[in-house]
Amino acid sequence: MRAMAGKAHIFLLYLIMKVEVHIVYIVKCANNTFYVGCTSNLENRLRRHSKGEVISTKNRLPVELITHINFTDKYKAYDFEKYLKSGSGRAFMNKRFI
């Protein structure tokens, strides 16, 4: 019975690890503006921002991560990113995240 529980645990971890996560993130730029983006690899994306490899932020370095929100549905993540870039989304972002 104990071996079965261990195998079930490993299987659940495997399932969790296979789920692709899409991350909407907000960074604060050196000029006190904010950049909203979406990625499946936040660590790599932040490294690219820091190296000046992202056109939208390369002239506003350094950047600081303010928050990130994880989604398992890619389309919901991109829709939320788009919303945060809209007028009402910016107001929501300023009130709730910044």
Number of domains the chain contains: 1
Phi, then psi, of 67 in degrees rounded to 5:
-160, 165
Which stretch of DSSP H or E encloses residue 86? Answer: none
Q: How far apart are CA 61 and CA 95, in angstroms?
A: 24
Q: How far apart are CA 61 and CA 28, in angstroms?
A: 9
Predicted pLDDT of residue 2: 46
pLDDT (tens digit per residue) in 41-61: 999 999 999 999 999 999 999
Domain harbouring 87, CATH code: 3.40.1440.10
Whether 11 is in a domain gets the answer: no
Parent domain of 65: 20-96
Share of the chain above pLDDT 90, in %: 77
Q: How far apart are CA 24 and CA 77, in angstroms?
A: 6
Prediction pTM value: 0.81
Whether 7 is in a domain gets the answer: no
How far does CA 61 lie from the centroid of its chain? 19
Beta-carbon neighbour count of residue 23 at 10 Å? 18
Predicted pLDDT of residue 3: 46
